[in-house]
Amino acid sequence: MILKPYSPTKYVARLSELAERLSPQHPQYSRIPKEIGAIKAGDYGEEIVYKELEQMKLPYQSYIFHKMFLYAECAFELDYLIITPYGILILEVKNIIGELEFSTNPSQLIQRKDDGKITKYPCPANQLNEYKYQLSQFFLQYNISIPIHGVVIFASRNSFIKQSANGVKIIYRNEMRSYLRNLTKNNSTLSKDNMEQIKEILLRRPSSPPTIPLIDHFSIPMEDLKHGVKCKSCGFIGMHKIIRTWYCPTCKKTNSKAHLKAISTYFSLCKGSITNQECRDFLLLNNRNEAKIILSNSELVKYGKSSTTYYKPSHN
């Protein structure tokens, strides 16, 4: 049973918002499309694996979770976590094409493409072993000790593993069905009640990691961002506030709710709270009362009084 279905990484949308508000000449600008490309490739691989999982009819009861964010000695996120009668299974999905070689000392994955380009990645085997350890520590917080299995799955048909890693199971996507069926060769260790208990623990966990403002992540000063309200019609950033609406000087369109997206972008990129002054600065407003009305009508939670007033999203 799939309890937490596949969903694409929301971080991509936030990165796109950051790119829109940076000059192409900014020193951090070139990092953004690279990160977006890597995330989309990973999402595609996880979606392929998800479609396989959807179609499987396993000979045992199971609970499947996509993208589980957990915390033990440190925060960690699992591509897929599956509760089975034979223990917990971690699926670490990689969507990397070309000739792949696992090397040691240092541990890394070396990718060689047809054009001769060589790229080095963190070792998936080491990642999986660390996730298994962290997950075991997570369950110990609930006095639960259970077997934890793991496998690295290469989702692309265009990957060729020249040399594998020792001590970690590594398979291609088309081997998933037989691998999961073969879990029955292990002794059953979890009763139905045990599985239900673990399921409930995981369902209570946050569905995604806490949001970190992107200007902090990329060390970008606030003043480097393009300020202003974005026009939904043409993409121009810097709409003018006129009576009861926003006006775009580029395409001449108006939108009375255009500020809502700009405020959402502020929380995503800049800070987890906003004051009247910060609202005026980011939306390019001159009128303090106008900013107060906008903040009061944007489904935000108000904190403090008078000069100490600030607002936060209602879901925080």
Whole-number pLDDT of residue 56: 92
Asked if 39 and 16 count as a contact pair (C-beta separation under 8 A), the reply is no
Whole-number pLDDT of residue 164: 79
Question: Could you say which residues of the chain have pLDDT below 50?
Answer: none
Strands (E) in 6-117, as ranges, are: 63-71, 75-84, 87-94, 98-103, 108-112
Q: What gap in Å lies between CA 3 and CA 203, rounded to an integer?
A: 8
Burial 73-89 (b: 16+ CB within 10 A, else e): eeebebbbbbbbbbbbb
Whole-number pLDDT of residue 316: 53
User: Residue 165 burial by CB count (10 A; 0-12/13-18/19+): exposed, middle or buried?
Assistant: buried
pLDDT tens digits for range 88-106: 999 999 999 999 999 888 8
- Position of tokens 């094409």? 97
Q: State the Cα torsion 179-181-186-192 to the nearest 10°.
A: 130
Residues 6+ apart with CB under 8 A from 275: 309, 310, 311
Domain topology for 227-313: Arc Repressor Mutant, subunit A (1.10.10)
pTM of the model: 0.86
Residue among 78, 63, 1, 10 nearest 214 (CA) = 10
Asked if 270 and 282 count as a contact pair (C-beta separation under 8 A), the reply is yes
Residue boundaries of the structural domains of the chain: 2-203, 227-313
